[in-house]
Amino acid sequence: MSECTHDCSSCSQSCSSRTAPQDMHIETNELSNVKKVIGVVSGKGGVGKTLVTSLLAVEARRRDFKTAILDADITGPSIPKEFGLKQRATGDEQFIYPVVTKTGIEVMSVNLLLEDEKQPVVWRGPVIAGVVKQFWNEVVWNDVDYMFVDMPPGTGDVPLTVYQSIRLDGIVIVTSPQELVSMIVAKAANMAKMMNIPILGIIENMSYVKCPKCGEEIKIFGEGHTEETAKEFGTTLLAKIPFDSELSKLSDNGCIELFEGSWLTEAADKLLK
């Protein structure tokens, strides 16, 4: 056998150093302390992943936990809009400092760095992946009990970067009741299993509309199959969130911290254990 050059790209040997699994996780900086990290994922866009991320963070903060949100959806950053954040994040030669919401949730999002929040982020995958890593190890996250990572939809390059770079304690999958979505949820769940990330549960958004007169729950998309999908992957259906006009208004007006509703109370009980 020829002498090892430590350059696996030009070597055809199957030595132990090549076959051993590599830990690609990166650590936060010395000024940060993040205890638990929960990723919020979806197999496709438009199912309310950012809304669920925001609501879970608000629930955690209401229970007096120090809470943070890392917005990893770089090309579709919506978290600042949910919380009405207009100021830009600051930084120095070494670190970036997150913006803090009215109730004390630390937030980092690419929209907090852009001069114009409507400016599109037209970057290639490696650049976007690099920004996600910077948000993790160059932002000064203070003593955080729970960080929620708003993941980009799908199973592409950036979700893979998050899984490989950040030590997630688990993920929550957000879905809607349509039959097609069950298949897409399965893709997200299978990706998590491939990366050895625990699936903490599934949250079904847009589950029903409650009639304002009689209180009947009207299932616009028909009967969902989320519970069956959850059982298939050995997890649970944590919550069902209805269409709610007041919740939509709060999101549009940047006042998500004022929401009133018990849809995620039980889910937060389970997750924050």
Could you list the residues known to form a binding site for ATP, using ranges.
43-50
Separation of alpha carbons 74 and 158, rounded Å: 9
Cβ-based neighbours of 49, under 8 Å, separated by 6 or more? 40, 41, 42, 73, 150, 151, 153, 174
The DSSP output letter for 78 is -
Neighbours of 228 (CB within 10 A): 10
**Residue list, annotated binding site:** 43-50
How far is C-alpha 164 from the chain's CA centre? 14
Q: Which of 270, 245, 264, 38 is nearest to 147 (CA)?
A: 38
Residue position matching structure tokens 């903490």: 200
Angle between helices 157-165 and 125-137 (to 10 degrees): 30
Strand partners, 204: 175, 240
Q: Which of 78, 61, 112, 21 is nearest to 258 (CA)?
A: 61
Separation of alpha carbons 171 and 92, rounded Å: 32
How far is C-alpha 185 from the chain's CA centre? 15
Q: Phi/psi of residue 178, each to 5°?
A: -60, 145
Neighbours of 8 (CB within 10 A): 12
